[in-house]
Amino acid sequence: QKEVEQNSGPLSVPEGAIASLNCTYSDRGSQSFFWYRQYSGKSPELIMFIYSNGDKEDGRFTAQLNKASQYVSLLIRDSQPSDSATYLCAVISFQKLVFGTGTRLLVSP
Amino acid sequence: DAGITQSPRHKVTETGTPVTLRCHQTENHRYMYWYRQDPGHGLRLIHYSYGVKDTDKGEVSDGYSVSRSKTEDFLLTLESATSSQTSVYFCATLGGYNADTQYFGPGTRLTVL
């Protein structure tokens, strides 16, 4: 079992819709959780960080963490074509920052 | 790419030659990481450092070594480059477990012929 798992997608949503991206992790001791956006040919960009159970909102982005279920998600409201990218989930596990393989999001106009 | 640079940005080398990639940060972050990114594999951890002279292996460490003699610099060395090490290499830093200060470098595209 991989330490961090994501559906590779692509996830296709129309402009203005809510995009829901999901991630599961295997290490129950994981403490911190990150969501990144990566455009093709670019380095990953941190968009959200969460370490407490519940929701954390920042603009159009909401991260949700459920440690009991070992599940973290990212909601993107009012999706825009410019949100089309690969979204990477990462967790800190035993001092390592471990990534999932990413979910490709396509937002159609 | 606030406060984190990688050099070189592009490199072409031949099989069997040693290669060193440099990551430099000005954020005074404790943790530093080296990843490679290949299509279909995402970001795979090569080595990481949790302090000066404190390093450990990641999931794809074979053929790579690292050194961290000061906080700012984390070097990745390919002892004898192979074509399978053709990839894009990213360095990342982390301020702490509960810090939202985390940065990626711009990446180094390495081609081994």
Query: How would residue A73 be classed by pLDDT, with cut points 50, 70 and 90?
Result: very high
Q: Is the distance from CB of B75 to CB of B20 less than 8 angstroms? A: yes
Residue pLDDT, tens place only, B53-75 = 999 999 999 999 999 999 999 99
Decide if B102 and A49 are in contact by the 8 Å CB cutoff: yes
- What is the rounded average pLDDT of the residues A62-88? 96
Average pLDDT over residues A11-16: 97
Say if residues A92 and A75 touch (Cβ distance below 8 Å).
no
pLDDT, position B98: 59
Q: What are the residues facing A64 on neighbouring strands? A: A55, A73
Q: Is B51 on the interface with A (CB under 8 A)?
A: no
The minimum CA-CA distance between A6 and chain B, rounded to whole Å, is: 11
Angle at A26 between CA B39 and CA B76, to 5 degrees: 45
The tens digit of pLDDT for each residue in B20-31 reads: 999 999 989 999
B73-88 pLDDT tens trace = 999 999 999 999 999 9
The long-range contacts involving A39-46, CB below 8 angstroms and separated by at least 24 positions, are A39/A85, A39/A86, A40/A85, A40/A86, A43/B1, A43/B90, A43/B104, A43/B105, A43/B106, A43/B107, A44/A88, A44/B43, A44/B90, A44/B104, A45/B104, A46/B100, A46/B102, A46/B103, A46/B104
CB proximity A92 to B under 8 Å: yes
Smallest Cα distance from A84 to chain B, Å: 17
The reported pLDDT for the residue numbered B89 is: 98
Any idea what the Cα angle at residue B65 is, between residues B62 and B69, rounded to 5°?
Answer: 160
Over 80: is that where the pLDDT of B100 sits?
Answer: no
Sheet holding B19-25, edge to edge: B4-7, B19-25, B73-78, B64-70
Q: Is the pLDDT of residue B99 over 80?
A: no
Return the H-helix or E-strand segment holding B23: strand B19-25
In 3D, which of A11, A5, A13, A90 has the Cα closest to residue A47?
A90
Using CA atoms, how far apart are residues A79 and A8, in angstroms rounded to an integer? Answer: 19
Instruction: Considering only the beta carbons, identify the residue of A32, A88, A95 that sits closest to B98.
Output: A32
Predicted pLDDT of residue B3: 87
Q: Closest chain B residue to A101 measured between Cα atoms?
A: B42
Q: B90-108: string of b/e by CB count within 10 Å (b at 16+)?
A: bbbbbeeeeeeebbbbebb
Cβ–Cβ < 8 Å for B64, B78: yes
- Predicted local distance difference test score (pLDDT) of residue A93: 85
pLDDT of residue A2: 75
Q: CB B84: neighbour CB atoms within 10 A?
A: 11
Contacts of A43 in chain B (CB under 8 A): 1, 90, 104-107
